Amino acid sequence: MSHQPVKVLVDTVVKLERRGAQKSLRKILNGTRPADLARLIRFLPEPHRAKILRQIEDIASRAEVLTEIEHDVLPSILEQLSDDELARLLEEMVSDDAVDVLALLDDERKERLLGLMRREDMHEAELLLRFDPESAGGIMSPDFFSLGESVTVAEAIEFLQTQGSDLEMAFYLYVTNDHDHLVGVVSLRQLVISPPDRPLAEIMEPDVVRVKTSDDREAVSWLVARYNLLALPVVDDSNRLVGIGTVDDVIDVIREEATEDMFRMAGAGDAPIALDASGVLQSIRSRLPWLFASWIGGIGASFIIHGFEEQLAKVALMAAFIPVIIGMGGNIGTQSLTIVTRGLALGQLQADQLLRVVSRELLVGLACGAFYGILLGGVGALVAHLDAENLRFGDPLSFGLTITVSLCAAMVIAAVVGSSVPMLFQRLSIDPAVATGPFVTTAVDVLGVLVYFASASVLLGI
Amino acid sequence: MSHQPVKVLVDTVVKLERRGAQKSLRKILNGTRPADLARLIRFLPEPHRAKILRQIEDIASRAEVLTEIEHDVLPSILEQLSDDELARLLEEMVSDDAVDVLALLDDERKERLLGLMRREDMHEAELLLRFDPESAGGIMSPDFFSLGESVTVAEAIEFLQTQGSDLEMAFYLYVTNDHDHLVGVVSLRQLVISPPDRPLAEIMEPDVVRVKTSDDREAVSWLVARYNLLALPVVDDSNRLVGIGTVDDVIDVIREEATEDMFRMAGAGDAPIALDASGVLQSIRSRLPWLFASWIGGIGASFIIHGFEEQLAKVALMAAFIPVIIGMGGNIGTQSLTIVTRGLALGQLQADQLLRVVSRELLVGLACGAFYGILLGGVGALVAHLDAENLRFGDPLSFGLTITVSLCAAMVIAAVVGSSVPMLFQRLSIDPAVATGPFVTTAVDVLGVLVYFASASVLLGI
């Protein structure tokens, strides 16, 4: 359940650095994988982070570590690196990773760094910087393996052998025609087991799943996941192959999108869990607005209750059951919301299933509402019976019935609201996860209070 | 944002099937990828599902489609297939996929099917069925590519060429010693570019990331994601290579675990969004228990308010602000909970950072609480001023101050509870996502009500 703790490694490294034990320190750093060094640096006290990064001898490893450091702690490290230092590291990176780092910098520094980079690296980076980071173009890597349709299997294998490490993620050989248009794909395994003299056009699979640079990056992750691909070609508007989205990037996208959806549903903004002072400020700024929905809804509920103050004075016991009625409504509403939003995100539900989904949730709400409503009504009737002298209107049984009906109605309403809001959002092509959470709980609060007092008016005659 | 709609395809297929237009139907089915056929079948009306599956001519495609159909709709399809029919399909599947299907059946049918399968397929399936589905052994595939350390590069390539399609996911060649122990790994690309006469021992990477069969399946997904791997070797307790976890399975695990965490945090049980009658029943059964936390907490809040009924009678306006105080508390508590739980799941937080994380959230709670507390206090004072004749105790300003202090305190408490519960759970090695949601909102309801009436007692002198 838990990621391996890094505390021991962190403590050792800090101690060795304080002591100036360079040799032992380097030995540890050289013996640790880049991804683990990135984790180590994350959990180091801030002033040590850039220092330890510099101690990694091999520049390729140093660049890889920088690539693997998460974006919530990266900016403070980048600040401590000189322009020259950073430009050398950016040159070492695959260009899509370099662009991810560059995107964290202000325009001025970005320009300075591009000016310091090798011409070819700069051009690749500038090309990629033009794409929206949330698009397929924004996550693609321009390092792919493509050859013409008339090239033979033997020539292709020879090409692969001479290219060496530049094609780190070459799982597929993409086949293009004379106009650079993508016309087929050959898997590396297919290549190895095919007769050497056959042209690629004869062994390729012509029906290639592809995305456009402007497609959402989520399209890349859906297609890679759905068709169990290792990489997906990205083409421009005229079907020219310009990059590939690889499965390792897709894993990151899937994780980030899941995090984004969770945060949106909780109205938790988009700030990651950075523990430094600027992280706290960022977190406050990003969470404050979402709380507004709840605040406004709360005021709405206040005015409703205030309007029923006369009734409350007659049956003081009513106030006691406000929290449980809106709380249970909020909970079942959150359940419906979560299940439906996730079902939509995973493609298990379609927007045109609105009626079926909502009626399903209505049934669930009715069943759960009836169950807990009857239980709570029993409690209500008992309390009213024990406190009969204060119950100036109605009898304990009617009071219990009011509670049963209100709780059940509030839960049905909540389940319907919680399931229909994301379905409707999907239909309107709005991301269903966009803070539907705070809106739904707020709506449920207001509607729950209304239904409660309305039931009381009818059943208790107040 | 949206998965491609399948409605047109669904309608066409249903129409063709009704008309008995076999030829057109087959043409459509043959021209559609297995993963897309699985999606089509998902969205078909239930009675058509098994029928359309049978119309897929090629048995390998039919088996692949069955593999790709999601588990919420799969059982009803399996019921409609005869034992013989299903056994043939299971034989066509990779054994880890066959086991996933077998796991959905009752023991009796499972035994019958194993008895009908080819001996070798049965043995492989029986071996895999022994592992916990949540473990690395439960998701591993026994089809890997491994050779001894003295085998040469040329021999290895020849072996790969003769094996053909049995090694669908062979990205790495694992190297074993005489005792079948895993001693190294060679990437397929490394193999292709190495001199033909070198033994594998000389070109292999000896430091292999691996998991044990008994490790949690999440360990596979972390390692694959962290080190950007395509496959991860799974070894038994004596380091013998027994299977591999592949990146396509890892993508499914990452998605399922994210869904699981979302559902747990929302107390939404574990039932997927099946739209048939049995799905509704399953959903009710799985969600009902989580609502109990909220129900019990609500009753707790009721008794507290009931205990303060005298005070409520004196300041009737107090009841009106109960929902907003517990609602705002619930919202910020959910924010903290979501951010911290996700940070732990992604390894961005460590259990020993309890104090830093909680104090960070306390600060956020204080800032947001002060902001909305002052706003709400203003509203409270205004309402109290307009309704002065009913305010028998305190003055409008004290009432406003009571609201400010209570809201701020409730939000601070909620942020602290929402962040400390998952941190403590993680420390105790309990999954922090286990329905901390309902518990936290319930605790926040009760504490919010308490703090509200306590503040009123002090500030209004009631």
Q: Which of A142, A149, A136, A100 is nearest to A209 (CA)?
A: A136
Q: What CA–CA distance (Å, rounded) separates B27 from A36?
A: 51
Q: How far is A315 from chain B (nearest CA, A)?
A: 10
Q: Which of A436, A387, A62 is nearest to B306 (CA)?
A: A387
ipTM confidence score:
0.84
Residue A271 — pLDDT band, cuts 50, 70, 90?
low
The pair of three-digit structure tokens given for residue A386, joined into one six-digit string: 């024990």
User: With the CA atoms of A273, A274, A280 and A283 taken in that order, what torsion angle do they form, in degrees rounded to the nearest 10?
Assistant: -40
Indicate the pTM of the whole model: 0.84
Residue A461 — pLDDT band, cuts 50, 70, 90?
confident
Q: What CA–CA distance (Å, rounded) separates A281 from A274?
A: 10
Task: Check CB contact under 8 Å for A323 and B331.
Answer: no
Residues 6+ apart with CB under 8 A from B121: B90, B91, B95, B98
A449 interaction partners in chain B (CB closer than 8 Å): 323
Q: What is the DSSP string of A124-163?
A: HHHHHHTS-TTBHHHH-BS---EEETT-BHHHHHHHHHHH
What is the average per-residue pLDDT within A386-414?
A: 87
pLDDT at B127: 87
Task: Check CB contact under 8 Å for A39 and B347.
Answer: yes
- List B199's β-bridge partners, or say none: B152
The pair of three-digit structure tokens given for residue A388, joined into one six-digit string: 């009969």
Q: What is the DSSP string of A364-382?
A: HHHHHHHHHHHHHHHHHHH
Burial status of residue B237 (CB atoms within 10 A of its CB: 0-12, 13-18, 19 or more): exposed
- CB-nearest to A319 from B226, B254, B305 is B305
Q: How far is B275 from chain A (nearest CA, A)?
A: 7
A343 interaction partners in chain B (CB closer than 8 Å): 272-273
Count CB neighbours of A120 within 10 A.
10
Distance of CA B269 to the CA centre of its chain: 11
In CATH, which of 1.20.140.150, 3.20.20.80, 1.10.357.20, 3.30.70.580 is domain B277-460?
1.10.357.20
Q: Which long-range contacts (CB under 8 A, 24 or more apart) does A358-361 make?
A: A358/A416, A358/A419, A358/A420, A358/A423, A360/A419, A360/B275, A360/B279, A360/B280, A360/B283, A361/A336, A361/A415, A361/A416, A361/A418, A361/A419
Q: How far is A112 from chain B (nearest CA, A)?
A: 31
What is the average per-residue pLDDT within A103-116?
A: 93
- CB-nearest to A429 from B1, B367, B379 is B1
Q: How far is B88 from chain A (nearest CA, A)?
A: 23
- List B216's β-bridge partners, or say none: B135
Task: Check CB contact under 8 Å for B266 and A6.
Answer: no
pLDDT per residue as tens, chain B (462 positions): 345 667 788 888 889 988 988 889 999 998 899 999 999 999 898 889 999 999 998 999 999 999 999 888 899 899 999 999 999 999 999 888 999 999 999 999 999 999 999 988 888 898 899 999 889 999 998 888 899 999 999 999 888 777 755 555 567 899 999 988 999 999 877 887 888 899 999 999 999 999 999 999 989 998 998 898 889 999 999 999 999 999 988 998 998 888 888 888 888 777 666 777 777 888 888 888 888 888 888 899 988 998 888 888 888 888 899 999 998 998 899 899 999 998 988 888 888 889 999 999 999 999 999 999 999 999 999 988 887 776 666 788 999 999 999 999 999 999 999 999 999 988 888 888 775 777 888 888 899 999 999 998 888 877
Cβ pair A148, A178 in contact under 8 A:
yes
The pair of three-digit structure tokens given for residue B82, joined into one six-digit string: 């005869």
- List A241's β-bridge partners, or say none: A235
The radius of gyration of chain A's CA atoms, rounded to the nearest angstrom, is 30
- Across B131-140, b (16+ Cβ under 10 Å) vs e yields beeebbbbbb
In CATH, which of 1.25.60.10, 3.40.30.10, 3.40.1190.20, 1.10.238.10 is domain B7-132?
1.25.60.10
Alpha-helix runs per DSSP H in A308-386: 309-314, 317-320, 322-345, 354-386
pLDDT one-digit tens code per residue, B182-230: 999 998 778 878 888 999 999 999 999 999 999 999 899 989 988 988 8
* Helix, strand, or coil (residue B147): strand
Q: What CA–CA distance (Å, rounded) separates B246 from B243?
A: 10
Task: Check CB contact under 8 Å for A298 and B323.
Answer: yes
Which residue type occupies A319? A
Segments making up each domain of chain A, as ranges: 7-132, 146-265, 277-460
Which CATH architecture describes the domain A146-265? Roll (3.10)
Q: What CA–CA distance (Å, rounded) separates A336 from A349?
A: 13
Burial status of residue A274 (CB atoms within 10 A of its CB: 0-12, 13-18, 19 or more): buried
The pair of three-digit structure tokens given for residue A135, joined into one six-digit string: 């698009």
A326 interaction partners in chain B (CB closer than 8 Å): 323, 326-327
Distance of CA A150 to the CA centre of its chain: 43
Number of Cα atoms under 13 Å in the Cβ half of residue B392: 8
Distance of CA B436 to the CA centre of its chain: 15
> Hey, of A30, A163, A335, which one would you mutate to test binding to chain B, going by the most B CBs within 10 A of its CB?
A335
